[in-house]
Amino acid sequence: MTIEIKTSTLEPVRNTFAHIEQRFGDKPATRYQEATYDVQAETNFHYRPYWDPEHELNDPSRTALVMSDWYAFKDPRQFYYGTYVQQRAKMQEVAESNYAFFDKRNLVASLSDEVRAEVVRYLVPLRHVEHTANLNNMYGTAYGYGTAITQALLFNGMDRLGIAQYLSRIGLMLDGNSGDALKQAKALWMDEPVWQGMRALCEETLVTQDWFELFLAQDLVIDTLIGELFYNQLDQKLTAKGGQDIAMLTEFMQEWSKDTTRWVDAVTKTAAAESDANRTLMAGWIESWRGKAAEALAPLAEEMLGGSHKGDALSEALAVLDKRVAKAGIQ
Amino acid sequence: MAAKKLSLKDKYSLLTRDLDWEFSYQDRKAAFPFEEFEGIKITDWSKWEDPFRLTMDAYWKYQSEKEKKLYAIFDAFAQNNGQLNVSDPRYVNAIKLFLTGISPQEYQAHQGFAHIGRQYGGVGARVACQMQSLDELRHVQTQVHAMSHYNKFFDGFQNWSHMQDRVWYLSVPTSFFHDARSAGPFEFLVAIGFSFEYVLTNLLFVPFMSGAAYNGDMATVTFGFSAQSDEARHMTLGLEVIKFLLEQHEDNVPIVQKWIDKWFWRGTRLLSLVGMMMDYMLPNKVMSWKEAWEVYFEEAGGALFKDLARYGITMPKYAELIDKEKEHVSHQTWWTFYTHGHAAGFHTWIPTDEEMDWLSEKYPDTFDKYYRPRWELARKLEAEGKRFYTKALPQLCTTCQIPMLFTEMSDPTQISYRDTVYKGERYHFCSDGCCDIFKDEPEKFVQSWLPVHQIFQGNCGGPGVEQVLGEYYKMNLGADNLDIKGSPDEKRWKQWKGVA
Amino acid sequence: MSKVYIALQDNDVSRYIVEAIEEDNPEVTVIHNPAMIRIEAEGHLVVKRETVEEKLGRDWEVPELHLNLITLGGNVDEDDDQLSLTWNV
């Protein structure tokens, strides 16, 4: 009897925080909602930053894109910190067991010299591209607006550091932990003509000022093309040459790409649907970076896939990109 | 060929340190533009020592384990109505102040570390800052999730997002972090990574969280200690950065010392809020603010500064003054909130007899002499139905934004005032420390969004204080503010507990 | 010499870690606070993987320490085999 009385008086006085109730109604909220919406401060900033006196500390005008509500960028994965690290922990557990299996069975010995050379020449240098992607996503985290998109950019940035480290481990597997493969790959990245377009492109993204433009350049344009050329087409080529075990080491990147594509597409679509002005702006950015990226990747695609791939590798990758862009409602 | 086994250090270095490169196609300074304007000289980023060498895969693995444990406790806490186990409903007010005053600053730390995690030219330091940015996001989110259940049963939590940008006393922590974030990348790290994390956050997280445990709040102690486990990494980053800057160039020493002096002072002013939480807002007490200060600043911080002496770094300016203030600040701060209890988003109260005796014991040189008489007078007035509220809006210090409540240490009955004139305007301060900080960066501090000035200028609604509180701050007047006695919080608590 | 310190959450794994620390650093002082165990030592303190593994009866990696760690004071050096805390003076 006493227990019944107690529970009947233990009715909550409210279901969630006021700003969450205002957005989603008076009902219990999800953890994603409470961790995300309206978390970032919006007004009454005390001091202008020494490093950017033209703007407030948090300022929506650091991009030319305009949104009436920056929290429209809902993450379809609903990642907040806790769900993010738990999802990645699951993926890293699989990756760890793949890498351990590869190591234990000495699968590196089964790779032909040709496959090894291709991995060092084409796959390992991507660690520098991933490192660039890490910085570019951190850029959006730091200068973007609204927790919904900035937290997802941070997660992406940290993913890219993780991927750079996985790619480095592939190098270490090939060189018996001497680091020689990493040195060779870095030398290629620095001096080999076939990589210079890509390096110049990465350097250009790192001096790009508009964070949303940079998001489109990196996470939509460059990542789609890299994913297609390296993790799809190169992977097929290596498999055809008896290097199928390498796929165990890139499984993380492929899984990651599926997950991240969903988020990038949602953001792109939402931004474009906001206004004609946004759509026009985005179309211009995408076209410009598509052109630069295609030019940078052309010699790599040609050398890496020209002989083996039926059809034109780069055109196919660009078609995948164009399809994603069209699906987001941008012509 | 058997691969050689790599040590943690070599592995981390191979995986991470060589990812960056010298630019050929763009000016590298355009990609990392903020490294020089503060006058800090970095001659060689490769000398950076990674203290923990945590790779991302290990980060995901260990952090997800922490999260799993933490959320299991949150779930159990909510399912079992853990709020009923806290010592006393007064306790909940300490965590209201935590959610509204501290959690938004975790978010600012996340933003600040993202900024320097993009801007530092050295990949080792950069990656450490990025991880800290991610951890700080974790902290704000776990705090919001921990408070989510309390919000369902107590007043004062529901508008934390709106309040963070507006409420008068919240501008103290907010402006502290705005100051750090608007500074250059190295000052930010000395401010937050070193002065705040290494020297001061232990005071916030360790004894206070131990106090939460002692008051039956399993949700708070769990997020507190779980967050603090990241803090160990952050503290170490803070210390490594200081050592790195000092080793890079001797010209860095006076700049770093100036920042340490500034941020130590800013930090101790900010922590007067924590002093009051510990001495007055925790019904079951673990240690006094003074004792916590002695263990975590005087002993631990003293050891740190002794260690840094080899670089020519000395104890922060005004440390000897703070040594005296530790006897006073918690009492002066809580008194100020008590007398402005109508304008606070949490409840206030007069300490019980037992609590006053505890305060006498912990502060034998000051409590009975200066503070007990005030509380006894307040109690007498309350008994006569004349509960006293200060109606006038307080004058705020231009730097720390705390009302003028601190006294001269040479005469603890005399409020401490300082002022200075800049470009024909007079600015007011609570202390020499705050006045010095202003004089060093007047162009920054003339921008301060001082809540009382803003109210007088009509920027916060009005005309009366009631409208400011109710409409501009969105406090639920009569529920969020005033005494705990007679509050809806107290009424509900009694119902749950079945007491009259 | 100044005191280095480490504080651990008061839970089952920590009890074994504390035992290991006490064995490797006979001079430490162990202080129990609500929900927290604080261990102090003059100048230097080390947590050794091997000893913790022995106490726990299973493999244990040094970064696992962070799951139970609350705070520490001193210059940190972590490698595969140990985490040490040191003040130079």
Return the pLDDT at B201: 82
Residue A312 placed within a domain: yes
Contact A154 B447 (CB under 8 A): no
A176 pLDDT band (50/70/90 cuts)?
Answer: very high
Q: Residue A3 pLDDT > 50, yes or no? A: no
Q: Which domains does chain C have, with CATH numbers?
A: 3-86 (3.90.56.10)
Residues 30-49 of B with CB under 8 A from A: 30-31, 33-34, 37
Quick check: B461 and B472 in contact, CB under 8 A?
A: yes
C71 DSSP 8-state letter? E
CB-based contacts of B39: which residues, under 8 Å, 6+ apart? B251, B255
pTM over the 0.90 mark? yes
Q: CATH for B55-349+388-497, among 3.40.50.300, 3.90.1150.10, 1.10.620.20, 3.40.190.10?
A: 1.10.620.20
Residue A251 placed within a domain: yes
Whichever domain contains A204, its CATH number is 1.10.620.20
Higher pLDDT, A309 or A330: A330
- Say if B495 is an interface residue toward chain A (CB within 8 Å): yes
Q: What is the mean pLDDT of residues A119-144?
A: 98
Name beta bridge partners: C6. Answer: C39, C72
- Summarised one tens digit per residue, pLDDT across range B440-460 is 999 999 999 999 999 999 999
Query: At B359, is the secondary structure helix, strand, or coil?
Result: helix
Q: What are residue C5's phi and psi, to 5 degrees?
A: -150, 160
Residue A159 placed within a domain: yes
- Summarised one tens digit per residue, pLDDT across range A270-304 is 999 999 999 999 999 999 999 999 999 999 999 99
The H-assigned helical ranges of chain C are: 12-24, 49-56
* Pick from B384, B390, B309, B308: nearest CA to B348: B390
Q: What ipTM goes with this model?
A: 0.96
Residue of A nearest to B134 (CA): A154
Total domain count, chain A: 1
Return the pLDDT at B499: 85
Q: Which amino acid is at C45?
A: L
CA of residue A200 relative to chain centroid, distance: 20
Return the pLDDT at A8: 54
User: Which residues of B fall within a CB distance of 8 Å from A168?
Assistant: 14-16, 19
The answer to whether the peptide bond before residue B463 is cis (omega within 30 degrees of 0) is: yes
Residue A41 placed within a domain: no
Q: In chain B, which residues have pLDDT < 50?
A: 1
Which among B31, B56, B130 has the least Cβ separation from residue A165?
B56
Where in chain B are the domains? Answer: 55-349+388-497
Q: In chain C, which residues have pLDDT < 70?
A: none
Q: A–C contact (≥3 CB pairs within 8 Å)? A: no
Contact A128 B117 (CB under 8 A): no
Q: Which domain holds residue A266?
A: 77-328
- Summarised one tens digit per residue, pLDDT across range C27-50 is 999 999 888 999 999 999 999 999
